[in-house]
Structure 1
Amino acid sequence: MTPHLDSMNFQQIATLFGCLFLIGSAEVVAGPMMSFMGAHFNVPSSAIAYLPAAYGLTYGAIALLAGPLSDRFGRKRPLQLGLLGFAALSALMPAAPTLTVAIALSALTGLCAAVIQPNALSLVADLSSTDKIGQRIGHVFIGLMLAFVLTPALAGRLADTTGWESAYYALSALALVAIFAVSICFESKALINTKSLSSLSAFFSVHKGALTTPGVRWRLSASYLWLGWVAGFGAVVAEVASRKLNIPPTQAGLFAGFFGLMVITGNLSNGALQRLLGESALPITAIASSIGILLFLLPLHSPEQLASAGAIWAFGYGCAGPLHHARLSALSDSYRGTVNSYHASLLNLGIFSVSALLGTLAQLATLSTFCTTVGCVALAGSALLWRKNC
């Protein structure tokens, strides 16, 4: 991998921070508003889980196309187009006449997010020196983590006061601000991979090059089996808390916000833990996040007990997530966008899997069955990280 100069400034970091905040918000905004949205669409509240499921499924499919194209044609314009679509679709969500239409809009929003995230994270690595990629990705990832703090709490509050629709209007407005920031903070320029993508065979050769990068396959397996399922639990944790303690949307949103704060704490602590534990920091904190999900199986009867159990999941997730992504992003300059696209795809397929599982099991099984399934899959993925020391 060829070293390159560090040229990233604070304004660029803040802009990409905001982009990740938006796509994280879209994953969790419906969580504390499920009962309101269910009543609006005349469906069970658990059926609203199909919104983040559709978001994650489309995200996972389209991201595989966005990465190779960005490696050839640049990051800025696709990022702008993704944000524009995100803004328009968020504004349309309140006008959806049925849940089916809302699911379709959520799926299209996932398409836009699939363009936003790989390009945003690739810009971090493009503009950072090799020794600062992990640190910068950690800074930008706080935007994603902050979405788990602010968005559920604010969405729950808005649902109780001005209506759930206002949460989507707010996301639309923030996306428009992000488009303006991207326009003034980044230049349009040619990127690292000069291989032509004019033919289908050349396009697939980029995928082949990314997948044959040493170490990438095991890390990408963990992107789905561990990180995707752990992040998916975060997308529906407000509903889990609501059903576990029988609490209203505002309080469920505050719970999700607290867990998001613990995610940020883990994000800010990963550097110190890595210095203390070395290469073992990633698998240890990944296993902790998986065990934290299984702790929701305990007979938790008070907010304090639920907060204590969930904090282990959230802290481990916040610490290990950026460490995992930083190692992936540093594997290749030439195929960075494509590797990031695979990571984003598998991560969001995990979110889809968890959200769809909740929507399906809600009518067929208990909450304990859901938490057991999610926790065991995540634990298997984290064990993979330990085995390969990824």
Structure 2
Amino acid sequence: MTLGQLSILAAALFLVGSAEVVAGPLMTAMAPDFGVPPAAIAYLPAAYGLAYAGFAIIAGPLSDRFGRKRPLQAGLLGFAALSTALAHSTNLSVAIALSALAGLCGAFVQPNSLSFVADSSSPEDVDIRTARVFVGLMSAFVITPSIAGWIADRFGWRYAYYLLALLAALAFLAVSAAFRPGRSHGGVVVSFVATHKGALATRGVVRRLAASYFWLGSVAGFGVVVADVAARKLSLSPTDAGLLAGFFGLVTIAGNLAGPMVRALLSHRALPIACFAASAGVFAFAIPATSVSQLALVGLPWAFGYGCGGPLHHARLSGMSAQFRGTINSYHASLLNLGIFSTSFLFGALAPTAIDLFYALVGGISLIGASLLAIANFAERRVATKGQGA
């Protein structure tokens, strides 16, 4: 896979990440147009994540059987059309429906992008290439909140969605030009049901997929609302909240790029340590902060642990089965976005009256997922050790 192709896939993941975080700094700007409290805007990323979660388990088996390119093209083109339509919506119900439909498109984009990477990489290169592509996803947490908040203050929130639509259209053209139609990856598997059964029968995959919901979904979902979390704690403007969220995104990218090095240093311990750090970081947001610099310091463990552990978890799942890679990645993406939906929903329900309870619940759920990954690592190491002994 060429550097240009990796860059295109990174751009596709940038759009997926942007759809998850763009509404955060726009909440106070969108709410008056829809006649709702700002916290209600959190239902937009919640709807996106729920639809994504429900549809991804269909998108993955299709790519295993018929190739990666066409589903990826369909997702990007639909994303462009729906982002444009959302910018024209005049009430929250319509916006939520359009956000959910955009989630269906995202369900084609991320799993197929990751499967493209793993299909063309050796086991030794999967971590590194996945980390590079994930720079696109993580950079959305830097660029999108910062630009979206600035656009909302100067031009109106609708133009943030127009910009996403333009970027999706350009990504569609780039994928069309740079990739050949993929071949089937399903081997001898014929039926849709057999594809799912084969993926779930892969040794160790169920425990790691559960962590996709409990850990990665929770810490990623926290990133979706972190701009509004910051605004509530310190009474920040959309621009300032977006900039702080952008800083956290920058730390996330640093963790993303450091992941392969951390893994080289700590071996199998790298992923559990990163996961526990991110979970502890979510709890830390309950600590009182009186300045932006204090809140930025509080958020460092969450952002770096999330950035470091996320790609390592993705790469491990992608490498568990070549035959069912698309299906496993789709289950992973589905559960990840279900976790984002759960976190966004909790924020919408609890932020107005019980924000500390929100931190406790999200931190506790993510801690369950971190524990599952630690157990999975221990079990796999034990099996490997027995195999060497035999």
* Cα distance between partner residues in 2 of 1:189 and 1:28: 31
* Cα distance between partner residues in 2 of 1:42 and 1:189: 46
* Cα distance between partner residues in 1 of 2:209 and 2:44: 25
Normalising by structure 1, report the TM-score. 0.95
Query: Do 1:80 and 1:183's aligned partners in 2 also have CA atoms closer than 8 Å?
Result: yes
Alignment of 1:236-247 (within 5 A): 236-247=225-236
Letter in 2 for 1:274: R
* Cα distance between partner residues in 1 of 2:227 and 2:301: 16
* Cα distance between partner residues in 2 of 1:267 and 1:111: 26
Structure 1 residue 311: Cα displacement: 1.2
* Cα distance between partner residues in 2 of 1:308 and 1:227: 21
Structure 1 residue 196: Cα displacement: 5.7
Query: Do 2:63 and 2:185's aligned partners in 1 also have CA atoms closer than 8 Å?
Result: no
> Would the alpha carbon gap of residues 269 and 196 (structure 1) be closer, same or farther in structure 2, given more than 3 Å must change?
closer
* Alignment partner, residue 12 of structure 2: 19
Q: Which SS does the other structure have where 2:279 is aligned?
A: helix
* Cα distance between partner residues in 2 of 1:309 and 1:286: 16
> 1:368 aligned to 337, 345, 356, which one?
356
Query: Aligned residues: percent identity?
Result: 57
Query: Do 2:60 and 2:329's aligned partners in 1 also have CA atoms closer than 8 Å?
Result: yes
* Alignment partner, residue 103 of structure 1: 96
* Alignment partner, residue 138 of structure 1: 131
Letter in 2 for 1:126: D
* Alignment partner, residue 380 of structure 1: 368
* Cα distance between partner residues in 2 of 1:218 and 1:379: 14
Normalising by structure 2, report the TM-score. 0.95
* Alignment partner, residue 154 of structure 1: 147
* Alignment partner, residue 51 of structure 1: 44
Unaligned 5+ residue runs, structure 2? 381-390
Query: Do 2:42 and 2:225's aligned partners in 1 also have CA atoms closer than 8 Å?
Result: yes
Residues 1:221 and 2:214 are matched in the alignment? no
* Alignment partner, residue 71 of structure 2: 78
* Cα distance between partner residues in 2 of 1:183 and 1:94: 26
* Cα distance between partner residues in 2 of 1:301 and 1:361: 22
Query: Do 2:66 and 2:185's aligned partners in 1 also have CA atoms closer than 8 Å?
Result: no
* Cα distance between partner residues in 1 of 2:182 and 2:323: 15
> 2:277 aligned to 280, 288, 291, which one?
288
* Cα distance between partner residues in 1 of 2:121 and 2:176: 19
Query: Do 2:17 and 2:140's aligned partners in 1 also have CA atoms closer than 8 Å?
Result: yes
Structure 1 residue 362: Cα displacement: 3.0
Residues 1:305 and 2:294 are matched in the alignment? yes
Residues 1:273 and 2:262 are matched in the alignment? yes
Query: Do 1:23 and 1:144's aligned partners in 2 also have CA atoms closer than 8 Å?
Result: yes
Q: Deviations over 1:256-295 (max 9, x none)?
A: 0000000000011111211211100000010000000100
Q: Deviations over 1:6-34 (max 9, x none)?
A: xx001110110000000100000010010
Query: Do 1:72 and 1:195's aligned partners in 2 also have CA atoms closer than 8 Å?
Result: no
- The total of aligned residue pairs comes to 378
* Alignment partner, residue 328 of structure 1: 317
* Alignment partner, residue 336 of structure 2: 347
Query: Do 1:53 and 1:352's aligned partners in 2 also have CA atoms closer than 8 Å?
Result: yes
* Alignment partner, residue 3 of structure 1: none
Q: Which SS does the other structure have where 2:285 is aligned?
A: helix
Unaligned 5+ residue runs, structure 1? 1-7
* Alignment partner, residue 117 of structure 1: 110
> 1:166 aligned to 133, 156, 159, which one?
159
Runs of 4+ residues over 4 Å off in structure 1: none
Structure 1 residue 192: Cα displacement: 2.2
Residues 1:29 and 2:22 are matched in the alignment? yes
* Cα distance between partner residues in 2 of 1:97 and 1:306: 35
* Cα distance between partner residues in 1 of 2:76 and 2:292: 37
Structure 1 residue 130: Cα displacement: 2.3
